Amino acid sequence: MMKNLWNDEEAKQYQGDLALRVYTSRLLGRDPSLVLHGGGNTSVKITETNIVGEKEDILYVKGSGWDLATIEVAGFAPVRIAHLLKLAKLETLTDPQMVNELKTQMTISSAPSPSVETILHATLPYKFVDHTHANAVVTITNTPKGLERIKEIYGDLVVIIPYVMPGFDLAKICAKIFTEESTEKTIGMVLMNHGIFSFGNSAKESYDRMIELVGMAENYLQENNAIPEYTEREMNEKNLAHRLANLRYKLSKTANFPVILATYSNRKTLTFANRNDLNIISQQGPATPDHVIRTKRIPMIGDDIERYEKAYQDYFQAYANENQVILDPIPRVILNSDFGMATVGKTAKDAQIVADVYDHTIDIISGATKLERYQALSASDIFNVEYWDLEQAKLKKTGKNPPFMGEIALVTGGASGIGKACVESLLKRGSAVIGLDLNPEIENLFNRADFLGITCDITDENEIKQALEKGIRRFGGIDMLILNAGIFPKGCNIKDLDLETWRKVMAVNLDANLILMREMHPFLKIAPKGGRVVIIGSKNVPAPGKGAAAYSASKAALNQLVRVAALEWGEDNIRLNSIHPNGVFDTGIWTNEVLENRAKSYGLTVQEYKQNNVLKVEVSSQSVAELATEMCGDLFRNTTASQIPIDGGNERVI
């Protein structure tokens, strides 16, 4: 239930109206039942003196791209109020015109673009204004008797605004109705099927009122037994990797670009996806305009993409023809009785945002259904938001996409050295990455949506299968494989080489990679842009050294395995290549002591030893990783079964 998070000691750290605006905005942002992933907005009106000594009333309103949970002063756009009030008096103003006017009236050119609800904030006669998409309020408004219920709950505490799409028209209608219906008791405003506003003459007053108003809605739902309940459920299918990968492949082919497919199997999603009335309640449409933008019109039920596409086009085609837009019938949410929910995005972060938003949509739909019946926006309203010209303009403005956007890579030995550098290089290029390592530190290597670290002994076949299942549930498939994990035993001549050491080296450097390649083949075969495998080999393949029989033999055997796989897998559009590094001294096996001893044995300084190659360069983990990653890209799209040295030029290899 709603809690007031205001803390007097915390608040003392924020001096001035704008700083306090930041503080209470963050308080709102802490509660995902109020705002989520950039949703909602806040503002404060401040009088400032400009560069020529004139006093101006300025509206500081949350800027585009900022999240209330983490917003800073720089996240607020300062806009001249006088011009905003003039705009509010216009009869008509298109949304693109409005956006242009807002930008021309900013007092800081580097500030983010103001919210599309800026004019609305300016017209409200209060210093502080808060706006959220509170679950409880939206739940109530999205029922057939929503208007009656809101009146019953709030009386004259709020002004009620019928649904109007965000933008200039909403600002104009709000200003009119608020002027006509507000009283001295008014502390808020409810926008049907959208959210709630509160306001006050101080940051604390506006925040307190928001918590009070939303709390009243929550109490109403509780009193009417409309709080959602979710029961523990068992998944109908335990092994989903192949099914999910095939589904992701179909989605990617339909979209004409690779996508991430993230699966969320928990009590809530499984309960919701197994409801008897799912075909009705989930197909009414999103709960708010913000939800429309994030999750599209309706989720797909089951695995039948073609059926979903047809239903989507049948629903929207008339509007699309009339407005001359190209439909985007790729689902963002998939509900399935076997695994609960999956979400689709161009990136792992996009898929996670969709999941977070629909998680709250499930609460809203479930609560509204218990209260009465869930009733979403009309088809025309949903279309207008989903294909809003402002949203389409955002899509057109996006710059060049990173080369591996929507793709997934798996890296073995990813916790350190070359493996970690490969993970970093892949992430930099836009790939989601699954990192495997025997070291548990792999699990905390990166705290981001596009990385999954899994502790895994790659010599254990069952652990490999479990890791693949976990990784594919997280991202939907695997497109690229970098086989990096390996061991380099202590130097030993053949006459002293014991069978246990030999077998251990073979198990890690050869057998494990055979298992990985075999298990990965079905997924690489359906990679939307073709499967890619890169082997981190060794200089010892073309030029073995004394005392490294087990290591040299294992790497040579792996190299031969890759050559055979290149012959067999070419027809599956999978390319495999090897790179052979040497003298990579920034890895764990090369301690200062080892380096000093090795350098001394050659009569060199440590630095000379590190650069003991034809080009006199130092080969780093990063340089190896950059080559490995590049070989997964378009530059090498016509290359397979190659062996490329990265050693600065080794005389024995040359």
According to CATH, the superfamily of the domain at 8-223 is Class II aldolase/adducin N-terminal domain (3.40.225.10)
Secondary element (H or E) of residue 564: helix 549-569
Contact 42, 131 (CB under 8 A): yes
Residue 269 DSSP label: H
Rounded CA separation 454/442 (Å): 6
Contact 288, 386 (CB under 8 A): no
Nearest partner of 449 among 344, 350, 342, 331, judged by Cα: 350
Residue 536, beta-bridge partner list: 579
Domain 241-397 part of CATH 3.40.190.10 = no
Residue 132, beta-bridge partner list: 196
570 Cβ neighbours under 8 A, 6+ residues apart: 640
Specify the 3-state DSSP secondary structure of 78: strand
Sign of dihedral through CA atoms 33, 35, 39, 41?
A: positive
For 617: left if phi > 0, alpha if psi spans -120 to 50, otherwise beta; the answer is beta
Specify the 3-state DSSP secondary structure of 449: coil
Query: In the block, which residue shows the tokens 């492949």?
Result: 249
pLDDT digits (tens, 9 = 90+) for 25-75: 999 999 999 988 768 999 999 999 999 999 999 999 999 889 999 999 999
Mean pLDDT in consecutive groups of 10 residues from the start of the chain, 654 residues: 93 96 97 86 96 96 94 97 96 91 95 94 97 96 97 97 91 94 96 96 98 98 96 85 97 95 97 95 87 82 89 80 81 95 96 94 96 88 76 64 96 96 98 97 97 97 97 98 91 90 95 98 98 96 90 95 98 98 85 80 88 94 97 97 95 90
- pLDDT (0 to 100) of residue 399: 64
Q: Tell me the pTM.
A: 0.92
461: tokens are: 């076949």
Rounded CA separation 21/44 (Å): 7
- pLDDT (0 to 100) of residue 394: 63
DSSP letters, 80-124, are EHHHHHHHHT-S---HHHHHHHHHHTBS-TTSPPBPTTHHHHHHS
Rounded CA separation 327/321 (Å): 10
Rounded CA separation 190/132 (Å): 10
Query: In the block, which residue shows the tokens 């090795």?
Result: 598
Residue 630 carries which side chain, given as an amino acid letter? E
Please give the sequence-ordered ranges of beta strands (E in DSSP) within 574-623, or none if there are none: 574-581
Strand order in the sheet with 260-264: 260-264, 340-345, 333-336, 300-301
Other CB atoms within 10 A of residue 5 CB: 14
Query: In the block, which residue shows the tokens 């950039």?
Result: 38
593 Cβ neighbours under 8 A, 6+ residues apart: none
- pLDDT (0 to 100) of residue 91: 93
Query: In the block, which residue shows the tokens 């699990």?
Result: 443
Rounded CA separation 564/558 (Å): 10
pLDDT digits (tens, 9 = 90+) for 255-304: 999 999 999 999 999 999 999 999 999 998 888 887 777 787 789 999 88
According to CATH, the superfamily of the domain at 408-584+619-646 is NAD(P)-binding Rossmann-like Domain (3.40.50.720)
Contact 536, 486 (CB under 8 A): yes
Residue 401 DSSP label: P
- pLDDT (0 to 100) of residue 325: 79
- pLDDT (0 to 100) of residue 387: 77
